[in-house]
Amino acid sequence: MDIALFSPSSLFAADDDSSDGETTETSQSFVDRNHQFPGMELNIREFGFHQLNANLLWPGSFAFADWLVQRPHLIRNRRCLEIGSGTGALAIFLKKEFNLDITTSDYDDQEIQDNIAHNCTANNITPSLPHINHTWGDEFPTSVPDWDLIIASDILLYVKQYPNLIKSLSFLLKSYKPKDTTTNAVSPSECKPNGAESDMLPWPVFLMSWRRRIGKEDESLFFSGCQEAGFEVKHLGNRVYCISLTETNL
């Protein structure tokens, strides 16, 4: 396969048509692609191949961007960490669109970090977004997480990693300490399902878009694992999920 002609959108045409298909091969290792996000086009350098699937943009990123643009009140004034950032495209979009205080994160891999920094510069974000190298399940680099909004898109591909992912989410949500001590905790009941509007999401909360297709039994393992870990899981519509501490764990 000629990587310069490969577009992730062609694999998921039924789910997304956000990429304009324009690609330019820059080397044997990378491909530059222009991707259409709501109201803007981003130039994103992608790995020709990456063993951890950090090389491409998947449908969940575009769907999540569309969903958030329609609900800006849900992320306004939040301090955000994106896990599984991959190319950093979603975080870059949210920074440019909302000036969101956002940190990227992915597997402890210098190539991923360097590529996100490259994409920040290519899309006029300087300095680059802060980044944390973290392999799910390992000890987190900071002992007191202060991100009140954790986001991700299309990260449930590897079923064997669910326990590690839930372990990292447990730390981020259960050990959360706000920078602003006046921040009031919000009940999970504020996270309304099926597209209902909400004035705010719980603090802290994990908000995830999932558009990839795997077996429903595999997919349910993640959500049931979250519930066993003391989280409440709600579907907000359009395959966006709100995962937060239960009332007893606040």
Outline where 99-161 has alpha helix (H): 110-122
DSSP string for residues in 169-197: HHHHHHS---SSTTPPP--GGGS-STT--
The closest of 169, 178, 107, 175 to 148, measured between CA atoms, is 178
Walk along the chain (250 residues) and give the pLDDT tens digit of each residue.
333 332 333 333 333 334 444 444 444 488 899 999 999 999 999 987 656 555 678 888 999 999 999 999 999 999 999 999 999 999 999 999 999 999 999 998 899 999 999 999 999 999 999 999 999 999 999 999 999 999 999 999 889 999 999 999 999 999 999 987 555 444 445 555 444 444 579 999 999 999 877 777 888 999 999 999 999 999 999 999 999 999 766 5
Q: What local confidence, expressed as pLDDT, does residue 7 receive?
A: 32
**Sequence-ordered list of residues with C-beta below 8 angstroms from that of 216, at least 6 positions apart, any chain:** none
* 3-state SS class at 53: coil
Q: What local confidence, expressed as pLDDT, does residue 3 receive?
A: 32
Q: What local confidence, expressed as pLDDT, does residue 21 receive?
A: 43
Quote the CA–CA distance of 117 and 111 in Å, as a whole number. 10
Q: Are 82 and 152 in contact (CB under 8 A)?
A: yes
- Compute φ and ψ for 36, nearest 5 degrees: -90, 115
DSSP string for residues in 201-226: --SSEEEEE--S---HHHHHHHHHHH
Decide: pTM greater than 0.85.
no
What is the Rg, in whole angstroms, of the alpha carbon atoms belonging to the chain? 17
- Compute φ and ψ for 192, nearest 5 degrees: -90, 135
How is the chain split into domains, by residue range?
A: 30-178+200-245
Q: What is the CATH number of domain 30-178+200-245?
A: 3.40.50.150
- Compute φ and ψ for 150, nearest 5 degrees: -105, 130
